[in-house]
Structure 1
Amino acid sequence: MQRDVTKQFAFTLKARDSSARLGEIATPRGAIRTPAFMPVGTAATVKAMLPETVRATGADIILANTYHLMLRPGAERIARLGGLHRFMGWDGPILTDSGGYQVMSLSKLRRIEEHGVTFQSHIDGATHLLTPERAIEVQCLLGADIRMVLDECTPFPATRDEAKSSMELSMRWAERSKEASQGMAVPGQALFGIVQGSIYPDLRGKSAEALKSIGFDGYAIGGLAVGEGQEAMLDTVAVTASVLPEDRPRYLMGVGTPQDLLEAIARGIDMFDCVMPTRSGRHCQAFTWGGKLNLRNARYADDPSPLDAESACPAAQYSRAYLHHLMKCGETLGPMLLSWANVQFYQELMAGAREAIARGNFAAYAEDVSRRYRASNGGEEE
């Protein structure tokens, strides 16, 4: 799909069921149906999957990682090769994160200052400087359709004073990111702000107000799923979503399990990303309409039933016995099939959510899925 330069970024809210929202994001590279789950293509690949297979699962958009791509092979190199879409063979929209989270979590050494963050690469130890301006420049070189401001992902736990200081730095960086984007972005490319403030409701509110005053195409909720627990995460999501603009997409970063996604949709979230489907697939875990399965378990060695008879995914029609065999033997096909099945399950989960919101019975849909997952917990994680 070629980029349609006549189209601009826009969000349309089509229906609501309580706080759950059904919508569509228009971009020059195609529409994104929301609620949407973005498979993670960290290093210009959704691990163990072909781009056409990712598209066939129903994914409208994928995520790529600024930190990893700026270090290897380099944003300038990707730009010379025609941009990230051509480089990785994905013709739909791409969202790139700012790289801030990876700087905090992966770097061997880092120093955060007002100007930006100086860090050592986890690959070769080389020193780099990532500023709000450089983060935007890298994302523009990649050709991302949705770009994120540079922020500091506040660690957990953090005192209120620590969270406040971190949030305020992120807001100053957000303003600089917006200014940089205005001079670099191509028409139709979007920029999202990121709400920070740890689990403190007043700080989340102040962060959201600061971002709204700057003005962004969409708003993300960052700094969650970092150890605070599901209840605190969902409480923070609810508080934050309630003060974000109705006419802009809302993106919860780095989340999560099927139950987490459904709970967040119920609180007004439109977009998600997480490595869980593909990472779980590489570690013998399968998400199915009957619950979560661990294909390492010996119980599956003689099980001829398909992985998930309710799924439309071709990979989910292989027998559990065969998938158990592949994983036990260390065959590459095993992680490939489970990753494929998992990504498609997440897309089917989102499609079901969209249909349920349109019908006005999202709560019943979410409870049915959660019930299946509660019932499947007996022994599968042993």
Structure 2
Amino acid sequence: MEFELTKTDAQSKARAGKITTAHGEIETPIFMPVGTAGTVKAVQQRELKEDIKAQIILGNTYHLYLRPGLDIIKEAGGLHKFNGWDKPILTDSGGYQVYSLSEKRKIKEEGVTFQSHIDGSRHVFSPEVVMDIQRTIGADIMMAFDECTPFPCERKYAEDSMHMTHRWLKRCCDRFDSTEPLYGYDQTFFPIVQGSTYKDLRTQSAEAIASFGREGNAIGGLSVGEPAEMMYKMTDLVCNILPKDKPRYLMGVGTPANIIECIALGVDMFDCVMPTRNARNGMLFTSEGIINIKNEKWKDDFSPIDVNLGSYVDVSYHKAYLRHLIISKEILGAQIASLHNLTFYLWLVKEARKNIINGTFSTWKNAILPKLERKL
């Protein structure tokens, strides 16, 4: 993997760059649609490529390991061949999913023993096992196996967890470096910064992560319930430490406003289930604000969902029709809403990139932020 830094904003730390992988280029800053189980919910691969213009999607180690299982994925020739997506894929290591199974898992130095949420069967994830699973999945970018601490988190637990994450990282690197890709193309590996919301721990972790000299770095353990301002402080602190010549990935973030604020702090890559999950519940993100399409006020509104996004869908998909579909629980409603929200997220980071390159990012950011958070 290669990363080329194209432009840095003069009034902030926002960056425009380009990541080159075996399955294509990614222009940053970028939002990555989440395809947890090998699919972005309610969206076809053709729509992801042609309508949404996604450049990279996510898969998840935990979910893909459980279903369809590694034998099926390997027999298909990797996740790209299995799901028909020929652009880059990043896989989350499953650390967050194991963290969310708090009543069904036990964490030890060797790894994590957990029960499947599907059938209750017992499994063990260690750093070595997770590296092997991601080799089998065949993602272009593999993530380290870490522990994601909750918020709030006692300092001693956060510190102990961080040190264990660093020890696990060494094991991940050893396994990654001693194994080869299975499908004839290169894979790369990102470590993850932890440390909860403690400034000194985040500093230690960012310095430790940077010392491994990998091709990119991630920031984990944020967007888990802490106030947004605290997330921004931790992100700013870490971005000031992580190397400037490598991409920075803020995991699981977030709202459109979160993304714009963190681009300004120097983050290059984002992912979040929010655009698709909220879409299925009738929440739409637009360039003028947030719409709850279930509200009565949209019942006879025949205007487009967002006139600023261009014509990625037929103009007949207006607010009144989409409201009818969502209220009626028609599957098409979830599809249209998901297409819209993902298109908006990709439009937003593309606009951010354009304004970084043009030297107008800060002015644009100040103009659009108040709109992104208001409810229409």
Scaled by the length of structure 1, the TM-score of the pair is 0.94
Per-residue displacement from partner, 1:251-304 (whole Å, max 9, x unpaired)?
000000110000000000000000011011100011111111010001111111
Q: Is 1:371–2:370 an aligned residue pair?
A: yes
Aligned partner of 2:75 in structure 1 is 80
Give 1:363 shift. 1.2
Q: Is 1:212–2:210 an aligned residue pair?
A: yes
Q: 2:2 aligns with which of 2, 10, 28?
A: 10
Structure 1 gap segments, 5+ residues each:
1-8
Aligned partner of 2:201 in structure 1 is 203
Aligned partner of 2:170 in structure 1 is 175
Aligned partner of 2:345 in structure 1 is 346
Per-residue displacement from partner, 1:103-140 (whole Å, max 9, x unpaired)?
11036511111110000011100000000011111111
What pairs with 1:71-110 in structure 2 (closer than 5 Å)?
Answer: 71-106=66-101, 108-110=103-105
Aligned partner of 1:227 in structure 2 is 225
Q: 1:58 aligns with which of 53, 56, 69?
A: 53
Aligned partner of 2:256 in structure 1 is 258
The verdict on how the C-alpha distance between 1:140 and 1:232 changes in structure 2, with shifts beyond 3 A counting, is same
1:267 counterpart letter in structure 2:
L
Aligned partner of 1:324 in structure 2 is 323
- Cα RMSD over matched residues? 1.2
Q: 2:62 aligns with which of 67, 72, 77?
A: 67
Give 1:23 shift. 0.3
The verdict on how the C-alpha distance between 1:78 and 1:108 changes in structure 2, with shifts beyond 3 A counting, is farther
Determine the C-alpha separation between the residues in 2 that align with 1:232 and 1:305. 38
CA contact (8 A) 2:29 2:268 kept: yes
Give 1:316 shift. 7.4
Determine the C-alpha separation between the residues in 2 that align with 1:167 and 1:303. 51
Aligned partner of 2:113 in structure 1 is 118
What pairs with 1:148-187 in structure 2 (closer than 5 Å)?
Answer: 148-186=143-181
Residue identity over aligned pairs, in percent, reads 49
SS in 1 for 2:368: helix
Deviates more, 1:102-111 or 1:261-270: 102-111
Per-residue displacement from partner, 1:327-348 (whole Å, max 9, x unpaired)?
1111110010000011010010
CA contact (8 A) 1:107 1:119 kept: no
Aligned partner of 2:39 in structure 1 is 45
SS in 1 for 2:40: coil
Determine the C-alpha separation between the residues in 1 that align with 2:243 and 2:237. 13
Give 1:312 shift. 2.1
Aligned partner of 1:6 in structure 2 is none
Determine the C-alpha separation between the residues in 1 that align with 2:152 and 2:180. 36
CA contact (8 A) 2:99 2:149 kept: no
Per-residue displacement from partner, 1:169-199 (whole Å, max 9, x unpaired)?
0000011001110122436311000000001
Determine the C-alpha separation between the residues in 1 that align with 2:352 and 2:70. 36
SS in 2 for 1:184: coil
Determine the C-alpha separation between the residues in 2 that align with 1:201 and 1:115. 28
Aligned partner of 2:27 in structure 1 is 33
How many residue pairs get matched?
369
Q: 1:133 aligns with which of 116, 122, 128?
A: 128
SS in 2 for 1:315: coil
What pairs with 1:219-368 in structure 2 (closer than 5 Å)?
Answer: 219-315=217-313, 317=315, 318-368=317-367
CA contact (8 A) 1:40 1:273 kept: yes
Q: Is 1:22–2:20 an aligned residue pair?
A: no
CA contact (8 A) 1:119 1:127 kept: yes
Determine the C-alpha separation between the residues in 2 that align with 1:160 and 1:315. 49
Aligned partner of 1:5 in structure 2 is none
Runs of 4+ off more than 6 Å: none
Determine the C-alpha separation between the residues in 1 that align with 2:175 and 2:339. 38
Determine the C-alpha separation between the residues in 1 that align with 2:19 and 2:142. 14
Determine the C-alpha separation between the residues in 2 that align with 1:213 and 1:263. 27
CA contact (8 A) 1:107 1:121 kept: no
Determine the C-alpha separation between the residues in 1 that align with 2:83 and 2:287. 31
Determine the C-alpha separation between the residues in 2 that align with 1:48 and 1:226. 25
Determine the C-alpha separation between the residues in 2 that align with 1:279 and 1:344. 14
Determine the C-alpha separation between the residues in 2 that align with 1:158 and 1:189. 34
CA contact (8 A) 1:36 1:270 kept: yes
Per-residue displacement from partner, 1:178-225 (whole Å, max 9, x unpaired)?
111012243631100000000111111111121222221111000001
Aligned partner of 1:190 in structure 2 is 188
Determine the C-alpha separation between the residues in 1 that align with 2:264 and 2:312. 30
Structure 2 gap segments, 5+ residues each:
none
